[in-house]
Amino acid sequence: MDVSSTPLTATQTVDFPVDSTQFDWENLRYFIAFARIRSLAAAARSLNVEHATVSRRIAALETALKIRLVDRRSHRYELTENGERIAQLGNRMQETACALSRAVCAIRTDKVADITLSAPPHLTTHFIAPHLGRLREQCPDVNVRILSNPRMASMARREADIAISVGRPTETDLVVRKIGTLDFGFFAAPSYLQDRAASAYEFIAHDDEQEPSPQRIWLENAAGQRPVVLRVKSFDVQAEAARAGAGIALLPVFMADAPGGLQRVPVEEQPLHAELWLVVHRDMRTAPGIRAMMDFVIHCFAQQHR
């Protein structure tokens, strides 16, 4: 008889071949984050911890399971064959746990709602933050956590409940709505441009750790052989550097149009535009507070585009 295919009865249990007093499920969560990204540093950023913490958690999981999950080679971690298998199983467990969490949140009718919003830093700073006082007045029972990160949080893994995405997201089971468009242009301090030939322009670029963003590609095409002298993730820092005369920055037009002395620099490239999308998981759209938070975000962007 194939025991593995025999269903459990109501009174049967499955023995977990690990000392439960030594096993910490959080260690598995950290390992899954690493296995998904394949980088200690990137996994640490996604978990908002130090990379040493991720390394320590993986080591603790290996000790508990008595299995080597990663090869440590010249400061690089690579999954072993067993690590790949455990990561696949762990991902399934995480997906099931997240689906359960979404279902519970959608069913519950608590008046108080804790909602996590994910959005790029320049959008949270200039579009969302100025209106948070009104949100508190209109929705006092909604408690908001904002993840200000260039990378859109995963709705499936419940890293966030609602997200603002630059570009239409590709994850499945999402409900999306276009809420605006970001127009980009080149800007510099008037003093930097004064008496400077176009051939002598220097550029400030967006710093991408993984795949180059459309903004970075567009800037590098426009710059050609001219140098990129500064790379930085934050558009706000890029704007300040441009105001200080460090070079020419590619910025969202709404930021550069604010008072501060930046001047538009004409280029031959076609204008760059980026669509903004409001994103929620299909299972979460009826959860308490989600609809109110979505309406709030839509209002924020409608106000900005008036």
pLDDT at 105: 66
Can you tell me the distance from the alpha carbon of 247 to that of 183, in angstroms, rounded to the nearest whole number?
A: 20
Residues 124 and 179 in one domain: yes
Q: Which phi and psi angles does 161 have, rounded to 5°? A: -95, -35
96 and 146 belong to one structural domain? no
In a shared domain, residues 211 and 297: yes
pLDDT value for 198: 92
pLDDT number for residue 285? 80
Question: 130 lies in which domain range?
Answer: 112-306
Of the residues 57, 76, 106, which one is the last residue of a structural domain?
Answer: 106
Please check whether residue 244 lies inside any domain of the structure. Answer: yes
Work out whether strand 203-206 and strand 142-148 pair parallel, antiparallel, or are unpaired: unpaired
Token reading at 110? 């608590």
pLDDT for 10 equals 44
- Give the pLDDT of residue 39: 86
CATH number, domain at 66? Answer: 1.10.10.10
Domain match, 150 and 272 both: yes
pLDDT at 3: 40
**Looking at residue 161, which CATH number applies to its domain?**
3.40.190.290
Long-range contacts of 39-43 (CB under 8 A, 24+ apart): 40/77, 42/209, 42/210
- Residues 221, 253 within the same domain: yes
Domain co-membership, 187 together with 144: yes
Confidence (pTM): 0.69
Consecutive 10-residue averages of pLDDT for the chain (306 residues):
45 52 78 87 83 89 88 83 89 79 66 82 91 88 87 83 90 90 92 93 82 80 91 91 94 79 81 90 81 89 71
Is 262 part of a structural domain of the chain? yes
Give the DSSP per-residue string, 75-133: TEEEE-HHHHHHHHHHHHHHHHHHHHHHHHHHH---S-EEEEEEE-HHHIIIIIGGGHH
Calculate Rg over the CA atoms of the chain. 24
Give the per-residue pLDDT at 12: 46
Angle at 118 between CA 106 and CA 155, to 5 degrees: 45
* Residue at which a domain ends, from 74, 106, 138: 106
The amino acid at 287? A
Are 125 and 102 in a shared domain? no
For 67, phi then psi, to 5°, come to: -135, 140
What b/e sequence results for 26-45 when a residue is b if at least 16 CB atoms lie within 10 Å of its CB, and e otherwise?
ebbbbbbbbbbbebbebbbb
